Homo-oligomer: A and B are copies of this chain.
Amino acid sequence: MTRSSVPPPVTAVMDAASAWLPARMAVVEDRLAELAGAYGPKLGEEAEATLKAGGKRLRPILVLMAAGDGAGDRAIRVATAVELLHMATLVHDDVLDGAPVRRGRPTVVARSGRDRAVGVGDLLLSRAFAELAVGGGGAEVAELSSASVALALGELAQRSDTYDTSISEQRYLERCSLKTARLFESACRMGRLASGRPGTEELGSFGREIGLAFQLLDDVLDVTGPPERTGKARGTDLLDGTVTLPLILARRLDPELESVELRGLDQARAEEICDRIAATEALDQVRNRAKGGIARAKGILESADLSEEEGQLLGMIADGVVERYS
C-alpha cells in the first residue's frame, strides 16, 4: 500500500500523442520546477528535491489526456496542482513511515528531519490550491479539496488499521478508494472540466477504476518484488503493519497465514510471508480483479463522448497500468 517507483506505463501514450502530449507535459514540468525554486535556495530546497525526484507523473498525464489536445492553459494548472497534492501526500506519508528512501533517493524526512518534512508537505499542499486559485475554478477547487480530504481520511484509516490482520476486504477497498482511486478520479474529472467539454462523469469513473486497479497491482508488487524493479524491499507493507488484499485473500487459502502476527517482523520473516502468500492463488486473484477493473474502465470509454483518438489514448493508459506488472 505504499507507492512504488516502477517506470511509467505512459511511454507508449507519449509516443502515440507525440504531437502534443510531451510538449504539454514539459510545460507542467517547468511549472513544477519554477514553483519548487520559488521559495529561495534554502527554504525551498526540500520542495525542490521532492519535485525533482520525478516519479511517474501519471496523475498530471491523466489530467492532460482527459482535457484533450485542444485544452488551454487551465489544464496545465490543474495538472500541476494534482501533482503538487500527490507530492504533498508522499512527503507526509514518508514522515509517518519514517521511510529512508523513495525512488532511490533519500526522503525529505530522512534528509532533513520530521519537522521540515511536515512543513514541506504543508507547503506543497497549500501550493496545489494556490495553483488552482489563479483564474478562478470553483468546481475544480471543490474537486481537489474533496480528493485531498479523501487522501487524509485514507491515510488515517490505514494508520488505524495497522497490524490488524482481520480487516475485511471491503475495508481494504474503501481505503484504496480514499488513498488512491479518488485522486485518479479527480484528475480525470478536473481535466475534463478544464476543457469545458462533456464527459466529466464518465472520465471520473474511468479514473476511479484504473486508480483502484493501480493500487491492487501495486500491492501485488510489494509481495513479488523484485526490489531492483520496485525500488523497495519485498514485504515493505508487512513490515509497516499494512494489511493489503494479497494477505487478506491468502489467509483464506493457507491456514498458517491466518495466525500470522505482523508486530515485530524482520525483513527475513517478511519475505517468508511474501513467499507463502505467493504460493497461494491469492496474487492471481488480485491480478484478475485488477484486470476486471481495467476492462470496466475501457468499457466506460466506449460509451463516453470522446473522439476516437482520445478513447485510444486513454485505453492505452489503462492497458499500461496492467502491463507494468506483467
Which residues of A come within 8 Å of B, CB atoms? 39, 42-43, 89, 92, 95-96, 114-116, 118-123, 125-127, 129-130, 132-139, 141-142, 144-146, 148-149, 151-153, 155-157, 159-160
- A145 and B122 within 8 A (CB): no
Q: What chain B residues lie within 8 Å of A95 (beta carbons)? A: 114, 118
- A114 and B96 within 8 A (CB): yes
Q: Which of B116, B133, B160 contacts A156 (CB 8 A)?
A: B116
Q: What chain B residues lie within 8 Å of A142 (beta carbons)? A: 130, 133-134
Q: How many copies does the complex hold?
A: 2
- A135 and B134 within 8 A (CB): no
Interface centre among A137, A146, A151, A156, by most B CB within 10 Å? A156
Instruction: Known contacts A129-B129, A141-B132; decide if A115 and B146 are in contact (CB<8 Å).
Output: no
- B145 and A129 within 8 A (CB): yes
- A115 and B159 within 8 A (CB): yes
Interface centre among A43, A125, A159, by most B CB within 10 Å? A125
Q: Which of B135, B137, B149 contacts A123 (CB 8 A)?
A: B149
A85 CB, nearest partner CB in chain B, Å: 9
A190 CB, nearest partner CB in chain B, Å: 12
- B122 and A152 within 8 A (CB): yes
Q: What chain B residues lie within 8 Å of A135 (beta carbons)? A: 138
A123 CB, nearest partner CB in chain B, Å: 4
CA distance A159 to B118 in the complex (A): 11
Q: What chain B residues lie within 8 Å of A156 (beta carbons)? A: 43, 116, 119-120, 123
Q: What chain B residues lie within 8 Å of A130 (beta carbons)? A: 142, 145-146, 148-149
A27 CB, nearest partner CB in chain B, Å: 21
- Nearest CB to that of A117 among chain B residues? B118
- Nearest CB to that of A132 among chain B residues? B141
Instruction: Known contacts A96-B114, A133-B141, A138-B135; decide if A119 and B152 are in contact (CB<8 Å).
Output: yes
CA distance A135 to B114 in the complex (A): 37
> 20 more A-B contacts (CB under 8 A) besides A96-B115, A119-B159, A123-B152?
A95-B114, A96-B118, A116-B156, A116-B160, A118-B118, A119-B156, A120-B156, A122-B152, A127-B145, A129-B129, A129-B144, A130-B146, A130-B148, A132-B141, A133-B139, A133-B141, A134-B142, A137-B138, A138-B138, A141-B141
